[in-house]
Structures are given as C-alpha cells and as structure tokens.
C-alpha cells in the first residue's frame, strides 16, 4: 500500500516536471518562415497584466516589417531566464530584447549573446553591462511627474511618503525624481515630511494599516500623501476615508483603472502613466535597426548604477491629473464609462 502510493507520488512528480519542461521550453518554435529575420524576447514575468500591452506594441512593429516574434517567459526566476536566453540564442536570433528579472544575474547571459554576435536590448529594467541598448521609461522622470502633479495643487504643509518595497532598487530612482522637485521646498521649510514608510510587496492592505498609524501618530495633521503607486494609493484612500480626509492631495503610478476613476472623482491628484504600448514599439524599432546592422536612432548615453555607459532610449512618462484625463481615454487605456463611473459633482473635462 505504502509502496503503491510512493510510486504514484513519484510518477506524479515526474509528470509535473515533464509538463513544466514542456511548457517552459517553447522558444525553439518551428521556423515558420525560413528566411524571415527573428527578434527574440525573453520576458521576466509575463503573467503580469502590463506585459501583454508591451507585447502588442512589439508585435505591431515587427509584423508589418516582416519579422518573426519569438519569446520565452522566465516566470520570475532568474535561473530559468538564463536557460531561456540560451535556448533563444540556439534557435538563432537577429536581435534580442531582454526584460531582466535581475539586473546583475542576467550579465552572463548578455556575455553569451555578445559572443554569438546578437545585438541586445535591455528592456524596461536596467542591465549592468555596456553591451546592451537600454529602452525604458525614465524612472527618475516618473518620480518627478508624481511630485510635480502634487506640488501644483499643494506646495506646503505636512507630507507623508508611502514608498514601495525596500528590496526593489527602482524605488531609489523614483525617490530621486520626487526629491528633485520636493527638496528645495523641504529645505525652505515649506514642506515637512512627517512620516516615511516602505510597504512590503507594495501591498494595498499594508499601506492602509501604515497610513492609519501615520494618521494616529500625527493626529491627522497630514496635508498630502506621496504614494509611489496606485495600489498603495487604494489603501491610503481607505485609511483617509475612515478619517473623512479623502480629497487631500494623493499621488500614484501605473494608471490603474480604479485610480483614474478616483482622479475623476477628485479623490486622487495624480497617477503617473507609462504607455507601455509605445515602449514596446520603441524597442521593436530599435531591434529592427540593430538586426539590419544600422545604428539605432535617437539614443543617448546612460550610466548604469555601477558606472558603465550604454546607449539608451528613455521615454517620458505622463502625470495624469484631472486636467489631462482625456489622454487615457484617447489612448484606449480605459473607457469613458469606466473612468467616469460614479462621478457626480464637479466632473473633469474628460467626463463632460
């Protein structure tokens, strides 16, 4: 009896591994158009909503240009990404777009690509190597746009800072951008930072609890909340609601539908929006230029954290406020009905 279950268990485990291998190693796809050039994309974690939009952007450029799109998804595992890049390179790529799970752990894979003579693009996430072209949103500009949107409506008083997961280095870039705008005001004593909290995993429910504690500690003497993304802004809004304080300036990032709706209702001030369709298109255009052996147009030098220089294309994100909500509707990011749901008094122009 014991033996039978053991065997069963092992068979199931074996089956699961085979299945995982089968699902994971798709990049060696059949060479459908034998002569078509191929652009390989190694995704970091495709299962998050936004990458589908990036992918659509990439495909919208590759398809008309007669290029084949090949991809692999590392599912959040830097080790699997090594294998993915290996397999992709073996399947022959004319250019590769790599969205690294880990900026440093990906470097050996970049070295392999260089050895194979494949031009490479570091997409969205910086890669610590001079051998890639960096295509991303300007993350410092994200922080800047956040602070600018806020300062426009409130440039003084007590501010609370709700920051993202401390383990993610990207928050330093966001903070740098925020401080470009806020530092002069803080130094003048116009703005006082009364609390700063990092939120593990950017979780909304933790942001809510943190905001409750900050309001308790300051006896509600908070005039503005600079939150680094819309998910955490959702938690902050719930905490503010319990103190009848909804409506004080509040920032966010990502253009979440719920956050855009809050902006229309006057419950949030700004959400920094990165149109990732455009980012995908920019990367695909650069990839084609590289595959043709042409120089990539419009690059600027970019310094990585360790001081290496690489060519880069950095798109500027947009701070969405009640004055330019029409951009997200025109960009088909959100429908007017979703945006304006529940908007009654003082509707923004986009809801009229």
Partner 1 sequence: MQASAAIRARIVSDKVAAAAGLDVRLLAMLLVMAAIWVGLNALTGGTFLTPRNLFNLSLQVAVVGMMSCGMVLVIVSRHIDLSVGSQIGFIGVFGALLQNSILPIDGGATWWITVLAMLGAGLMIGFVQGLLVAYGGVPSFVITLGGLLFFRNAAFYINSGITIAPLNKTFQLLGGGLDGTIGALWSWIVCVAAVLAVVVFVWRGARRRTLYGMANRSPAMNVLLIAIWGLCIIGFTAVMNAYQQPRSNIAMGIPIPVLILIGVTVAMSALASKHRFGRHVFAMGGSPENAELAGIDTRRLTVLVFALMGLLCGLASIVVTARLNAGASVTGTMTELNVIAAAVIGGTSLAGGVGTVYGAIVGALIMQSLESGMILMGVATPLQRMVLALVLIAAVWVDMAYRRARMT
Interaction of residue 342 with partner 1, rule CB under 8 A = yes
Q: What angle do CA 124, 129, 131 make, to 5 degrees?
A: 95
Question: Torsions phi, psi of 341, nearest 5?
Answer: -60, 120
Using CB under 8 A as the binding criterion, the count of chain residues that bind partner 1 stands at 44
Strands 191-198 and 157-163: parallel
Interaction of residue 344 with partner 1, rule CB under 8 A = no
Q: Contacting partner 1 (CB under 8 A), which of 57, 126, 231, 319?
A: 231
Interaction of residue 148 with partner 1, rule CB under 8 A = no
Residues 185-224 that bind partner 1 (CB under 8 A): 195-205, 208-210, 212-214, 216-217, 220
Binding mask 40-69 for partner 1 (x = CB under 8 A): -------xxx--x-----------------
Contacts of 19 (CB under 8 A, 6+ apart): none
Q: Contacting partner 1 (CB under 8 A), which of 17, 18, 111, 166?
A: 166
What's the number of CA atoms in the CB half-sphere (13 Å) around residue 293? 1
Residue number with CB closer to partner 1 (169 or 213): 213
Interaction of residue 244 with partner 1, rule CB under 8 A = yes
How many CB atoms lie under 10 A from the CB of residue 324? 18
Q: What is the DSSP string of 29-41?
A: ---SSTTS-EEEE
Strands 270-273 and 318-320: antiparallel
Residue number with CB closer to partner 1 (2 or 294): 2
Interaction of residue 303 with partner 1, rule CB under 8 A = no
Angle between helices 107-115 and 78-90 (to 10 degrees): 10
Query: What residues make contact with partner 1 under the rule CB under 8 A?
Result: 5, 9, 47-49, 52, 166, 195-205, 208-210, 212-214, 216-217, 220, 230-231, 234-235, 237-238, 241-245, 256-259, 261, 342
């Amino acid at each position: 009896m014991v033996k039978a279950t053991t065997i069963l268990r092992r068979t199931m485990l074996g089956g699961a591994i085979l299945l995982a291998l089968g699902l994971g190693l798709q990049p060696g796809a059949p060479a459908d158009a034998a002569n078509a050039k191929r652009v390989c994309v190694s995704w970091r974690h495709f299962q998050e909503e936004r990458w589908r939009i990036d992918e659509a952007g990439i495909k919208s450029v590759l398809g008309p240009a007669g290029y084949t799109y090949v991809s692999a998804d590392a599912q959040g595992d830097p080790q699997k990404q090594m294998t993915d890049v290996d397999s992709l390179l073996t399947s022959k790529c004319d250019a590769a777009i790599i969205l690294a799970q880990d900026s440093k752990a990906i470097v050996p894979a970049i070295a392999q690509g260089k050895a194979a003579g494949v031009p490479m693009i570091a997409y969205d996430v910086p890669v610590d190597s001079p051998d890639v072209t960096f295509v991303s949103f300007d993350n410092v500009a994200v922080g800047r746009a956040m602070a600018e949107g806020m300062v426009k409506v409130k440039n003084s008083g007590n501010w609370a800072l709700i920051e993202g997961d401390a383990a993610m280095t990207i928050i330093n870039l966001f903070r740098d951008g925020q401080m470009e705008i806020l530092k002069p005001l803080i130094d003048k004593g116009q703005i006082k930072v009364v609390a700063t909290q990092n939120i593990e995993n950017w979780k909304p429910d933790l942001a809510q609890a943190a905001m409750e504690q900050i309001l308790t500690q300051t006896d509600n003497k908070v005039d503005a909340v600079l939150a680094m993304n819309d998910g955490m802004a959702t938690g902050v809004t719930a905490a503010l609601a319990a103190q009848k304080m909804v409506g004080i300036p509040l920032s966010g990032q990502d253009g979440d539908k719920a956050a855009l709706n809050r902006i229309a209702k006057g419950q949030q001030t700004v959400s920094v929006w990165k149109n990732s369709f455009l980012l995908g298109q920019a990367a695909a255009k650069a990839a084609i230029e590289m595959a043709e052996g042409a120089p990539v147009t419009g690059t600027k030098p970019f310094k990585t954290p360790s001081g290496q220089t690489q060519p880069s294309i950095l798109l500027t994100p947009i701070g969405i406020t009640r004055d330019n909500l029409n951009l997200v509707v025109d960009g088909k990011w959100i429908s007017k009905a979703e945006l304006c749901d529940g908007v009654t008094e003082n509707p923004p122009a986009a809801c009229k």
